[in-house]
């Protein structure tokens, strides 16, 4: 059955297109993703990969977001009309002869009007995952949520592209996918208003947070742009590392599910955020107070490159990766050690560890032969376990200590039968 839509007509290069809005309940009835267009199976491998849907992501992330978020919003979807279908466009100027002169001038190019399209196949060229999520909520009703029943009444922007040729269609599909770029992790942390971890991370670096303020160059002491810190940088850590410490602290207090956007899909309540911030602010304050050199670097950014140097006594403490390792170890120490051990005491003991980048302690555990950080999660875990052992080795199960010895020996390529761990710190 033909449908009529108010629309804007435009061209880009050789491609005519129309911009309109549709009710979600109508759109999901008349369209389908490109991944379900069987004749495309003969296209190249790259295009076939681009068109495949990640159904797990649709069901676990995007559809729950729609079903639970009153502030839900999507960008425009691109809809391809069937090859045999040519839309009919009637400009307003042809229908409304009595329009005031100023309005007629604005419509001189006949860009505004009514678009009539038939009932042929309508394929989603761009926005397949968003469309599939809409369909999950509205048709399949496989996702529950306080807003699920309202989604069908939402209006979404649709860019309608008539079919010109198979080659032309494939070009459009390829380019809109190839040049699409996901926002960076840093951008997501900076802008998310639903991710509790991100909100708390920003609070740590804003206003009166323990990592707020600027360095002598006028930069934030937290690097928002990169996931690593250059040796000569006058910044203390990265936003990405700070985010990981927040996640670790939240998990320590069993608050991760309350703050994790992938679990909640909406902004956590303010009382939850306040409780979470009390914990993360307290931990970072304890670390800065219990590790005077780290706090000195925060307050004297001009000499951060010197403090981070390979030969510096506490150089490794000025690496973002170490901040993640340290907070993971502190959580493990408090969970596994003496119940009377306080966070401040655990930090002070950890400060006694040899934190030189060139120390043999870290070789092939967190630092490679070129004295660069080893970035795999397995290295972070091994380093955190080593810190835990050094701080409370006497409180750990003998089997756990033996497993750690074997893991470190393997990482270093040492003979397991003769390799020994360094002695734990005196408690």
Does the structure show a pLDDT above 50 at 41?
no
Return the higher-pLDDT residue of 73 and 164: 73
Does the structure show a pLDDT above 80 at 300?
yes
pLDDT band at 226 (very low <50, low <70, confident <90, very high): confident
Does the structure show a pLDDT above 60 at 42?
no
What's the pLDDT at 375? 92
Does the structure show a pLDDT above 90 at 151?
yes
Domain ranges for the chain, please list them.
3-178, 185-412
What's the pLDDT at 340? 86
pLDDT band at 48 (very low <50, low <70, confident <90, very high): very low
What's the pLDDT at 357? 97
Does the structure show a pLDDT above 80 at 291?
yes
The mean pLDDT of 179-189, rounded to a whole number, is 79
Partner residues linked to 160 by β-bridges: 18, 79
Distance CA 222, CA 237 (A): 5
Residues ≥6 apart with Cβ < 8 Å to 320? 227, 228, 229, 237, 238, 240, 241
Q: Closest by alpha carbon to 34, among 127, 167, 118?
A: 127
Q: Say how many Å lie between the first and final Cα of the chain, rounded.
A: 80
What's the pLDDT at 47? 46
What's the pLDDT at 120? 66
Reported as a single tens digit per residue, the pLDDT across 126-141 is 898 999 999 999 999 9
Reading the block at residue 227, the tokens are 């996931």
Percent of the chain with pLDDT over 70: 90
User: Residue 172 burial by CB count (10 A; 0-12/13-18/19+): exposed, middle or buried?
Assistant: middle
Does the structure show a pLDDT above 90 at 103?
no
Reported as a single tens digit per residue, the pLDDT across 307-339 is 999 999 999 999 999 999 999 999 999 999 788
What's the pLDDT at 311? 92
The mean pLDDT of 24-45, rounded to a whole number, is 71
- Integer CA distances (angstroms), 239 to 212, 289, 320, 358, in order: 12, 20, 9, 26
Distance CA 176, CA 48 (A): 14
- Integer CA distances (angstroms), 345 to 283, 289, 291, in order: 12, 11, 11
Does the structure show a pLDDT above 90 at 233?
yes
The mean pLDDT of 171-179, rounded to a whole number, is 75
Return the higher-pLDDT residue of 119 and 193: 193
What DSSP line would sit under 101-117, residue for residue?
A: HHHHHHTTT--EEEEEE
Does the structure show a pLDDT above 60 at 50?
no
pLDDT band at 220 (very low <50, low <70, confident <90, very high): very high
Model-level pTM? Answer: 0.82
Does the structure show a pLDDT above 70 at 49?
no
Distance CA 292, CA 289 (A): 6
- Backbone phi, then psi, for 216, in 5-degree steps? -70, -10
Does the structure show a pLDDT above 50 at 107?
yes
Tell me the average pLDDT of the chain: 89
Q: What is the DSSP letter of 358?
A: T
Return the higher-pLDDT residue of 374 and 186: 374
What's the pLDDT at 338? 80
pLDDT band at 167 (very low <50, low <70, confident <90, very high): confident
Reported as a single tens digit per residue, the pLDDT across 415-424 is 999 999 999 9
Pick the range with the lowest mean pLDDT from 25-34, 244-253, 302-311.
25-34
């Amino acid at each position: 059955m033909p449908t009529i839509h108010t629309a804007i007509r435009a061209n880009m290069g050789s491609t005519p297109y129309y911009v309109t809005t549709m009710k979600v309940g109508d759109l999901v009835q008349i369209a389908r993703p490109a991944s379900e267009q069987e004749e495309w199976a003969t296209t190249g491998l790259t295009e076939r990969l681009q068109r495949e849907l990640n159904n797990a992501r649709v069901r676990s992330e995007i559809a729950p977001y729609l079903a639970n978020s009153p502030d839900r919003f999507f960008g425009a979807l691109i809809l391809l009309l069937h090859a045999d279908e040519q839309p009919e466009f009637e400009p307003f100027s042809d229908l409304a002869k009595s329009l005031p002169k100023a309005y007629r001038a604005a419509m001189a190019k006949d860009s505004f009007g009514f678009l009539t399209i038939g009932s042929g196949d309508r394929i989603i060229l761009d926005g397949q995952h968003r469309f599939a999520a809409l369909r999950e909520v509205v048709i399949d009703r496989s996702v529950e949520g306080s807003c699920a029943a309202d989604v069908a009444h939402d209006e979404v922007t649709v860019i309608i592209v008539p079919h010109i040729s198979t080659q032309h269609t494939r070009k459009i599909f390829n380019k809109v996918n190839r040049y699409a770029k996901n926002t960076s992790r840093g951008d997501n942390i900076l802008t998310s208003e639903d991710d509790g971890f991100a909100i708390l991370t920003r609070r740590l670096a804003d206003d009166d947070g323990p990592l707020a303020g600027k360095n002598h160059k006028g930069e934030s002491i937290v690097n928002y742009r990169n996931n690593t810190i250059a040796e000569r940088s006058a910044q203390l850590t990265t936003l990405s590392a700070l985010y990981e410490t927040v996640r670790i602290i939240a998990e320590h207090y069993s608050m991760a599910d309350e703050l994790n956007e992938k679990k909640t899909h909406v902004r956590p309540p303010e009382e939850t955020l306040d409780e979470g911030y009390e914990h993360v602010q307290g931990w970072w304050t304890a670390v800065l107070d219990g590790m005077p050199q780290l706090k000195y670097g925060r307050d004297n950014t001009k000499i951060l490159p010197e403090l981070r140097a390979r030969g510096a006594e506490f150089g490794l403490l000025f690496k973002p990766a170490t901040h993640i390792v340290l907070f993971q170890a502190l959580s493990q120490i408090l969970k596994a050690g003496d119940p009377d051990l306080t966070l401040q005491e655990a930090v002070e003991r950890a400060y006694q560890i040899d934190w030189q980048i060139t120390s043999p302690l870290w070789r092939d555990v967190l630092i490679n032969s070129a004295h660069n950080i080893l970035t795999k999660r397995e290295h972070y875990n091994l380093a955190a376990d080593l810190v835990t052992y050094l701080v409370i080795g006497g409180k750990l199960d003998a089997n756990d200590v033996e497993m750690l010895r074997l893991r470190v020996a393997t990482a270093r390529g040492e003979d397991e039968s003769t390799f020994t761990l360094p002695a734990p710190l005196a408690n």
